[in-house]
Structure 1
Amino acid sequence: MRSNFCLFSWLLRQAILFFALGLGMSGVQALVPNTPSTVVLTGRNLSIDQVRQVARAGARVEVSSEALSRLERSHRLLLAAAQQDKPIYGLNRGVGLNKDQTIFKGDAIDPAVRAISERFNRNMLLTHSVGIGSEVPQEVVRATMLVRLNTLLVGGAGVQPIVARMYEYFLNHGIHPVMFSRGSIGEADIGILPQIGLAMMGEGEVIYQGRRIAASSALKSAGLVPVKLFAKDSLSLISSNAYSAGMAVLRVVDSERFLDAADRVFSLSLEGLNGNVAPFLPAVQVSRPFVGQQQTAAHIRSLLEGSYLWSLSEQRALQDPLSYRTVSQTHGAVRDILGLLKSQLEIQVNSSDDNPTIVLDISPPEGVTEQEKKYYLFGKDLAGSIFPTASFDPLPWALNLQSVTIALSHVANSSFQRTLRLSDPAFTKLPRFLSPNPATFGYTTIQKTASYLNTEIKALSQPVSIDAAPTAGNIEDVTSNAALIALRAGDTIDRAYYLLGIEFMNAAQAVDLRLRETPALALGNKTRPLLQAFRKTTPFLDADRYMASDIQKTAEFLRTLPAQE
Structure 2
Amino acid sequence: MVVLTGSSLTLEQMNEILYNNQSVTLDEAALERVQKSREAVESIVRNDKTVYGINTGFGKFSDVKIDEKDTKALQLHLIRSHACGVGEPFSEMVSRAMVVLRLNALLKGFSGIRPVVLERFAYMVNNGIHPVIPQQGSLGASGDLAPLSHLALVLLGEGYVWKNGKPEPAENVWKEHGVEPIVLEAKEGLALINGTQAMTAQGVVNYLEAEKLAYASEWIAAMTMEALFGITDAFHPAIHEARGYKEQVDVASRMLDWLQGSRLTTTQGEKRVQDAYSIRCIPQVHGASWQVLTYVKEKLEIEMNAATDNPLIFEDGDVVVSGGNFHGEPIAFAMDFLKIGVAELANISERRIERLVNPQLNEGLPPFLSPQPGLQSGAMILQYSAASLVSENKTLAHPASVDSIPSSGNQEDHVSMGTIGSRHANQIIQNAKRVLAIEALCALTGCRYHGEDEMAPKTKAKFDELISAVNPIDEDRVFAPDIEKIAGLLGK
3-state DSSP class of the match of 1:274? coil
2:362 to 419, 428, 436: 428
Equivalence for 2:236: 281
3-state DSSP class of the match of 1:176? coil
TM-fit CA distance, 1:210: 5.7
Number of corresponding residues: 489
Tell me whether 530-539 or 87-96 shows the greater mean CA deviation.
Answer: 530-539
Cα distance change of structure 1 residues 82 and 285 upon mapping to structure 2, 3 Å threshold: same
Letter of the 1:219 partner, please give it.
W
2:83–2:150 contact (8 Å) kept in structure 1? yes
Letter of the 1:527 partner, please give it.
T
Equivalence for 2:347: 413
Using the alignment, how far apart are the partners of 2:122 and 2:7 within structure 1? 16
Q: Which runs of 4 or more aligned residues in structure 1 lie more than 4 Å from their structure 2 counterparts after TM superposition? A: 208-211, 309-315
1:177–1:206 contact (8 Å) kept in structure 2? yes
Equivalence for 1:192: 147
3-state DSSP class of the match of 1:40? strand
Deviations 1:511-548 (Å, cap 9, x if unpaired)?
22212xxx76x311211111122122222323322322
2:357–2:367 contact (8 Å) kept in structure 1? yes
3-state DSSP class of the match of 2:147? coil
2:60 to 97, 114, 134: 97
Equivalence for 1:168: 122
Using the alignment, how far apart are the partners of 1:392 and 1:53 within structure 2? 27
Using the alignment, how far apart are the partners of 2:23 and 2:152 within structure 1? 20
Using the alignment, how far apart are the partners of 1:483 and 1:306 within structure 2? 46
Using the alignment, how far apart are the partners of 1:326 and 1:504 within structure 2? 18
The 5 A counterparts of 1:89-488 are 89-104=52-67, 113=68, 115-187=69-141, 188-208=143-163, 212-308=167-263, 312=267, 316-360=271-315, 382=316, 384-430=318-364, 431-438=366-373, 439-488=375-424
1:49 to 3, 6, 12: 12
Equivalence for 2:425: 489
2:235–2:253 contact (8 Å) kept in structure 1? yes
Letter of the 2:146 partner, please give it.
G
Cα distance change of structure 1 residues 554 and 175 upon mapping to structure 2, 3 Å threshold: closer
Query: What stretches of structure 2 of length at least 5 have no aligned partner?
Result: none
1:497–1:558 contact (8 Å) kept in structure 2? yes
Query: What stretches of structure 1 of length at least 5 have no aligned partner?
Result: 1-37, 105-112, 361-381, 561-565
Letter of the 2:76 partner, please give it.
R
Cα distance change of structure 1 residues 392 and 260 upon mapping to structure 2, 3 Å threshold: same
Structure 1 vs Structure 2: percent identity of aligned residues?
Answer: 30
Deviations 1:382-407 (Å, cap 9, x if unpaired)?
46411111111121232122111111
TM-fit CA distance, 1:157: 0.8
Cα distance change of structure 1 residues 295 and 94 upon mapping to structure 2, 3 Å threshold: same
TM-score, length-normalised on structure 1?
Answer: 0.83
Letter of the 2:240 partner, please give it.
Q
Using the alignment, how far apart are the partners of 1:214 and 1:435 within structure 2? 52
Using the alignment, how far apart are the partners of 1:213 and 1:450 within structure 2? 38
Once superposed, what is the RMSD of the aligned Cα atoms? 1.8
TM-fit CA distance, 1:314: 6.2
The 5 A counterparts of 1:536-547 are 536-547=468-479
Which structure has the larger Rg over C-alpha atoms?
Answer: 1
Equivalence for 1:87: 50
Deviations 1:245-270 (Å, cap 9, x if unpaired)?
11111111111000011011000001
Letter of the 1:472 partner, please give it.
S
Equivalence for 1:25: none
1:156–1:352 contact (8 Å) kept in structure 2? yes
Letter of the 1:436 partner, please give it.
P
Instruction: Give yes or no for the alignment of 1:527 onto 2:459.
Output: yes
Using the alignment, how far apart are the partners of 1:311 and 1:411 within structure 2? 24
